[in-house]
Amino acid sequence: MRKNKRESSDVISIIILSLFLVCTLLPLFIMVFTSFKDQNEILMDFWGLPERLNLDNYITAWKDIGGYAYNSFKTTLLAVSGIVVVSVFAGYAFSKLPIKGKKPLFLVVMGFRMVPTGLLIIPMFMNVLSIGLDNNHWGVILTNIATGSTMAVMLTKSFFDQLPDSLFEAAKIDGAGELKTLTNILIPLSKPIIGTVIVFNFFTYFNQFMWPYIVLSDKALKTIPIGLAALAGENGVDFGLQSAGYSIVAIPLIILFLATSKIYVNGITSGAVKG
């Protein structure tokens, strides 16, 4: 009896969550659905099924945005690598090393999370301009390493907090130097959190719009999200072409997410419990 009651409350939850899910994903389904249609099909009969699996839109869209892929991968991967290096070292030190005043120093780093960098975008642009990195991928990358490292340090620190101190002390007693502790103990142990930091920041910076939009002015340097906005701007009501452009970008990202969702979801949820 009781079991049945609990099962029925699960059914209600599942129905509500499924409704949420349908609403969440509906725009994406419309996007994919529209991407196979030509202009006439969209205007005449929007809700009808595509007449055939028409890939013309995809070919045109790829010609337009394919060139941005290199820029996107370059800026994203370099920023992510930087964030990983900076945050693993800092997180380890904040958690395990005897450093004078490390608590207030850690709070200072966390305080930077509270700076609304979106409003600072113009001064930040003036900043990269003053060091000659405007219209340069490094202007995008270095600033993103700085802004991305705060959340990453929080994740890595709380990860290392969960590891026993004795692990690192034992290595030192055995005569392992700092460097050896680092390569033989720290890096292998922190694989899960490194994975989370990589995956989370990859999606964040691959999808970033405002900052690269402002820093990069040469068309040859721009990234995919900016290319998509331009595609929409130049092709007014050609929704088939636009949707194909969005789908080319969105579908691989969604597949990548589904493949890495354990690392993404578990890492964020376990590391942040205390935050």
Partner 1 sequence: MNRNKLKRMVNYLYIIPVFVMLCLFVLKPFLFAVEKSFFRYNGAFVNEFIGIDNYKRMFTDTLFWTSMKNMLFFALAMVIQFAFPIIAAELCFNLRTKLRQDFFRTSLIIPMVIPSVIIILVWKFLYYPGVGVISSLMSSLGVSQDKIPLFLGDTSWVKPAIAMIGFPWIAGIEFLLTFAALQGLDQSMFEASLIDGCPKWKRILYIDLPCIAPQLKVLFVLRFMGLVQNYENVLILTQGGPQNSSLVPGLYIYNVSFVPNGNSESLYGYACAMAVILFVICFAVTALVMREKKEETR
Binders in 204-263 for partner 1, by CB under 8 A:
206-207, 209-210, 224-225, 228-229, 232, 237, 239, 242-243, 246, 249-250, 253-254, 256-258, 261
84 CB burial (10 A radius; 0-12, 13-18, 19+): buried
The helix/strand/coil state of 245 is helix
Size of the site for partner 1 (CB under 8 A): 94
DSSP code for 162: T
Residues 6 or more apart in contact with residue 263 via CB below 8 angstroms: 192, 195, 196, 199
**Contact with partner 1 (CB under 8 A) among 48, 66, 118, 132:** 118
- Residue 100 has a CB neighbour count (10 Å cut-off) of 6
DSSP code for 176: -
**Contact with partner 1 (CB under 8 A) among 6, 52, 103, 191:** 6
**Contact with partner 1 (CB under 8 A) among 1, 7, 53, 59:** 7
90 binds partner 1 (CB under 8 A): yes
CB of residue 116 vs partner 1: minimum separation in angstroms? Answer: 4
**Contact with partner 1 (CB under 8 A) among 104, 116, 175, 188:** 116
Residue whose CB is less far from partner 1, 206 or 221? 206
114 binds partner 1 (CB under 8 A): yes
**Contact with partner 1 (CB under 8 A) among 124, 154, 194, 244:** 124
**Contact with partner 1 (CB under 8 A) among 62, 73, 138, 203:** 203
272 binds partner 1 (CB under 8 A): yes
**Contact with partner 1 (CB under 8 A) among 69, 146, 163, 176:** 146
For residues 194 and 164, what is the distance between their CA atoms, to the nearest angstrom? 18
Residues 6 or more apart in contact with residue 140 via CB below 8 angstroms: 75, 79, 211, 212, 215, 216, 223
CB of residue 32 vs partner 1: minimum separation in angstroms? Answer: 10
- Residue 159 has a CB neighbour count (10 Å cut-off) of 23
DSSP code for 186: I
Helix (H) or strand (E) holding 205: helix 191-206
**Contact with partner 1 (CB under 8 A) among 71, 76, 143, 158:** 143
User: At which residue do the structure tokens 């991967």 appear?
Assistant: 77
Residue whose CB is less far from partner 1, 87 or 190? 87
CB hemisphere CA count around 129 (13 angstroms): 9
Helix (H) or strand (E) holding 6: helix 2-35
- Which residues between 9 and 68 bind partner 1 (CB under 8 A)? 9-10, 13-14, 16-17, 20-21, 23-25, 27-28, 30-31, 34, 42-43, 46-47
CB of residue 81 vs partner 1: minimum separation in angstroms? Answer: 13
Helix (H) or strand (E) holding 184: none
* x-or-dash string of contact with partner 1, 181-200, rule CB under 8 A: --------------------
CB of residue 254 vs partner 1: minimum separation in angstroms? Answer: 6
